[in-house]
């Protein structure tokens, strides 16, 4: 969006270097008090934590990275300023131990701003002038120093700097409290959504309104009419840890009606028991497991007209197919050599799913309740054994899923997956070792490919049926932020 570019791009270039080096210390200040409460988007970043975890202490290396990434967007003077900040970060005047905020008022106006906690106002003021972002003289109003720039203004006191961009703010100082010194109940610090994300430990966090999807006609068609997107927000947290990147996404509803709607959706899913994991190898490329009540799920889907239209076009009796599922569903791939060794298992309460599929595929019965069919270039095997519907491309499991001697049941995945409301994992170690990844190796080169192979596996799951957690693991004990920066380099 334009706002991401207009939000003091030159200033960000001038101070971004400070994110990669040891920062200064100073006074305190609650920057959240200077962010409006009713914003559509807000992101807070704990600079000191990010700096400490980046592992970048080589100043010359940082300068080279910045020159490569920013050369087309900054002048030589700005680059020289950044180099000076890298060598002497305390000259930025920014207080690194407190959170920095970036926000957007609303999607329509594309106006917003940034809030920096300060350790030294005079140094930050000097930074703006030296970088040529501010070209005039600073003025004073109600205890703040301020000046305009092209498309916005900056106002600061000894504790905080507020930068607004995306509109003409000439004369803003006459209404300072609408933009900078916000009144009681008008700031982010008192926003219930913000309080929700500050309760969790994170390095980067924020939220955005799902109102952004209101004008997406295609998406809107699949959202129940009772859902008011203006009442819904998506919160996110990012935590960089030794060997992993931990991200959490969770919905937040402002109205009681929407809170009830979110709570009701929990009725359609159940916790994963891991009953099918014994059919998948411990070194499987990846798998996904979830549990549901098919009848309830279909009844809810059938309330949507667009879904019903898709059902009519499909030619399948999707109602019988979905409604017959009662319990666990697990989908995974044990290996991928010449052909993918794919397997799907689903607990069923009747054989309707088999009838629907067989009427379409017209398979040949190879044993009681077990069938095979040719689809394009592949052979599919499917059937129902011990109340488990299976679908596979593996000839070894043509007559039903077979228990593996070394299965996922005894792995780290299983211990996390059980009792979660859905779980998915991909073994990146296995994926990057596949022969088909040869093109990636040639594209990245030996060094690049070795860097990519530092990634171990990624998992995604829900602990409450409301949130989604994504965790990226590495093969290193180094903090993952350093690993990711190495990959970028």
Q: What is the pLDDT of residue 243?
A: 81
Does 253 have pLDDT greater than 90?
Answer: no
- Confirm if 242 and 479 have CB atoms less than 8 A apart: yes
**Residue 285: closest CA among 346, 330, 340:** 340
Q: What is the mean pLDDT of residues 71-84?
A: 62
Q: What is the mean pLDDT of residues 123-150?
A: 85
Angle among Cα 47, 50, 55 to the nearest 5 degrees reads: 135
pLDDT band at 66 (very low <50, low <70, confident <90, very high): low
Q: What is the pLDDT of residue 11?
A: 41
Domains of the chain by residue range: 2-190, 272-419
pLDDT band at 7 (very low <50, low <70, confident <90, very high): very low
User: Collapsing DSSP states into helix, strand and coil, what is residue 451?
Assistant: helix
Q: What is the pLDDT of residue 373?
A: 94
Please give the mean pLDDT across all residues of the chain: 81
Q: What is the DSSP string of 277-338?
A: GGGSBTT-SEEEEEEEEHHHHHHHHTT-HHHHHHHHHH-S-HHHHHHTEEEEEEEEEEEESS
Does 227 have pLDDT greater than 60?
Answer: yes
Report how far residue 125's alpha carbon sits from residue 103's, in angstroms, rounded to the nearest whole number: 21
pLDDT band at 272 (very low <50, low <70, confident <90, very high): very high
pLDDT digits 0-9 by tens, 146-201: 998 878 889 999 999 998 888 777 777 777 778 888 877 889 988 888 888 877 78
pLDDT digits 0-9 by tens, 440-466: 777 777 767 777 778 899 999 999 888
The listed range with the strongest mean pLDDT (118-122, 315-319, 483-487) is 118-122
Residue 407 is given by DSSP the state B
pLDDT band at 371 (very low <50, low <70, confident <90, very high): very high
Q: What is the pLDDT of residue 28?
A: 35
Residue 363 is given by DSSP the state P
Report how far residue 248's alpha carbon sits from residue 289's, in angstroms, rounded to the nearest whole number: 19
């Amino acid at each position: 969006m334009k706002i991401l570019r207009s939000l003091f791009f030159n200033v960000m270039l001038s101070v971004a270097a400070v994110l990669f080096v040891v920062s200064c210390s100073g006074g305190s200040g609650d920057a959240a008090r200077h962010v409006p409460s009713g914003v559509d988007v807000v992101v807070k970043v704990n600079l000191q934590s990010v700096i400490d975890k980046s592992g970048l202490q080589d100043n010359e290396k940082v300068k080279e990275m910045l020159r490569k990434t920013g050369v087309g967007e900054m002048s030589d003077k700005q680059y020289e300023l950044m180099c000076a900040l890298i060598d002497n970060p305390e000259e930025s005047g920014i207080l690194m131990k407190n959170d920095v905020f970036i926000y957007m008022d609303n999607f329509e106006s594309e106006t917003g701003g940034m809030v920096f906690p300060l350790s030294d106002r005079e140094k930050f003021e000097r930074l703006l002038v030296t970088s040529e972002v501010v070209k005039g003289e600073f003025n004073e109003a109600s205890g703040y120093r301020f000046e305009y720039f092209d498309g916005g203004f900056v106002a600061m006191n000894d504790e905080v700097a507020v930068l607004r961009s995306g509109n003409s703010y000439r004369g803003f100082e006459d209404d300072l409290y609408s933009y900078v010194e916000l009144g009681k109940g008008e700031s982010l610090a008192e926003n219930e959504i913000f309080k929700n994300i500050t309760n969790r430990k994170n390095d980067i966090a924020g939220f955005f309104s799902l109102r952004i999807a209101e004008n997406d006609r295609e998406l809107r068609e699949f959202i129940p009419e009772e859902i008011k997107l203006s009442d819904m927000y998506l919160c996110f947290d990012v935590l960089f840890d030794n060997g992993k990147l931990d991200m959490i996404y969770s919905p937040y509803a402002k109205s009681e009606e929407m809170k009830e709607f979110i709570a009701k959706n929990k009725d359609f899913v159940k916790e994963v028991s891991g009953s099918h994991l014994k059919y998948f190898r411990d070194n499987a490329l990846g798998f996904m497991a979830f549990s549901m009540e098919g009848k309830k799920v279909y009844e809810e889907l059938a309330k949507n007209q667009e879904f019903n239209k898709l059902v009519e076009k499909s030619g399948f009796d999707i109602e019988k197919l979905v409604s017959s599922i009662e319990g666990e569903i697990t989908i995974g791939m044990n290996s991928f050599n010449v052909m993918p060794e794919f397997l799907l298992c689903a607990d069923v309460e009747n054989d309707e799913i088999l009838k629907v599929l067989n009427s379409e595929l017209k398979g040949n019965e190879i044993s009681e309740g077990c069938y095979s069919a040719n689809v394009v270039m592949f052979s599919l095997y499917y059937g129902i054994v011990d109340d488990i519907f299976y679908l596979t491309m593996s000839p070894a499991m043509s007559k039903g899923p077979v228990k593996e001697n070394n299965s996922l049941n005894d792995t780290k995945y299983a211990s996390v997956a059980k009792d979660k409301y859905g779980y998915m994992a991909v073994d990146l170690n296995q994926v990057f070792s596949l022969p088909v990844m040869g093109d990636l190796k040639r594209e990245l080169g030996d060094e690049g490919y070795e860097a990519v192979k530092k990634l171990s596996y990624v998992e995604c799951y829900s602990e409450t049926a409301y949130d989604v957690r994504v965790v990226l693991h590495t093969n290193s004990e180094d903090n993952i932020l350093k690993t990711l920066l190495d990959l970028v380099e």
